[in-house]
Amino acid sequence: EIFEHSLEASKKIASRIAQLIIAKKEVGQMAVLGLATGSSPIEVYNELVRMHREEALSFQNVITFNLDEYFPMAPDREQSYHRFMNEYLFDHVDILPENIHIPDGTLTSVESVNKYCQAYEEKIDEVGGIDLQILGIGRTGHIGFNEPGSTLESITRLVTLDNKTRVDATKDFFGKHNVPKNAVTMGISTILKSKQVVLMAWGEGKAEIVERAINGHMSAQVPATFLQNHMNVTYYFDMPAASEL
């Protein structure tokens, strides 16, 4: 779906999320959302906060799993995805803290990280899987932090960030040398297990990778191409992002 402005598209995505939450509430179930960070979903979160305030949209029946977190990363640091989520969504809605899951960037041994990642996968399965996963896309073609080379079978794990991704993160970290070299991310298979997937991209800076993600053949070199396999994925673009399609 191509929109003139990202705001219009973001409102549509927020309204899909709200409808899911309400539909689940009506049947006494939890809505399980997979959430993303980065600049792309900010307007979606703004709209959800507005709906909470003005339309009494409740998040009490919502469970969330975030895609990723830098590693190492303390949750209270400015660049942490924990802080991002609190600032743009969680601090402003009535979600129960125990229903929020964001990968932990503070673990210190490889064994503890591996164990944690396995448990993250199990928690998603225990609540019946993700109903709706929202995604941005990085200029490397990453979804979450699944950089080129990530396989279809990959699960939640510790990864090494691509140089292009670290360059793109420079502005947030005031210098590339401050950007962590690693991250913990859900895998491609974790993402593909979601019942519905929404990928959004805005601006001409994304046009080239959007074209490769949609028209390119499926390959680990552009991990977002793996979404072409999913039965229920919607791509939301503004006109500049869609300009090379």
What residues are annotated to the active site?
Answer: 147
Adjacent-strand bridge partners of 65: 34, 101
- 224 lies in the binding site for ligand GLP (CB under 6 A): no
Q: Which residues contact 12 (CB under 8 A, 6 or more apart)?
A: 1, 3, 236
Q: Does 10 bind ligand GLP (CB under 6 A)?
A: no
Closer residue to ligand GLP (CB): 33 or 57? 33
- Residue 169 Cβ vs ligand GLP, minimum distance, rounded to whole Å: 7
3 near ligand GLP (CB under 6 A): no
Number of residues that bind ligand GLP (CB under 6 A): 13
161-165, long-range: CB < 8 A, 24+ apart: 162/138, 164/138, 164/139, 164/140, 165/138, 165/139, 165/140
d(CA 156, CA 187): 5
Q: Does 210 bind ligand GLP (CB under 6 A)?
A: no
Least separation, in Å, of the C-beta of 179 and ligand GLP? 10
Which of 15-23, 92-100, 136-144, 220-228 is the region at the interface with ligand GLP (rule: CB under 6 A)?
136-144
Task: Let me know the angle formed at the C-alpha of 29 by 27 and 91, rounded to the nearest 5 degrees.
Answer: 125
Give dist(CA 197, CA 204) in Å, integer: 22
Q: Could you tell me the smallest distance in angstroms from the CB atom of residue 133 to ligand GLP?
A: 11
Binding ligand GLP (rule: CB under 6 A), the pick from 138, 141, 187, 223 is 138
Q: Which stretch binds ligand GLP (CB under 6 A): 13-21, 72-80, 135-143, 236-244?
A: 135-143
Asked if residue 105 binds ligand GLP (CB under 6 A), the reply is no
- CB nearer to ligand GLP: give 105 or 136: 136
Residues 32-71 that bind ligand GLP (CB under 6 A): 36-40, 67-68
Asked whether the bond before 180 is cis by omega within 30 degrees of 0, the reply is no
Q: Is 29 left (phi over 0), alpha (psi -120 to 50) or beta?
A: beta
Strands 196-201 vs 100-101: parallel, antiparallel or unpaired: unpaired
Does residue number 170 form part of the binding site for ligand GLP (CB under 6 A)?
Answer: no
Q: Are 32 and 127 in contact (CB under 8 A)?
A: yes
Binding residues vs ligand GLP (CB under 6 A): 36-40, 67-68, 136-138, 144-145, 165
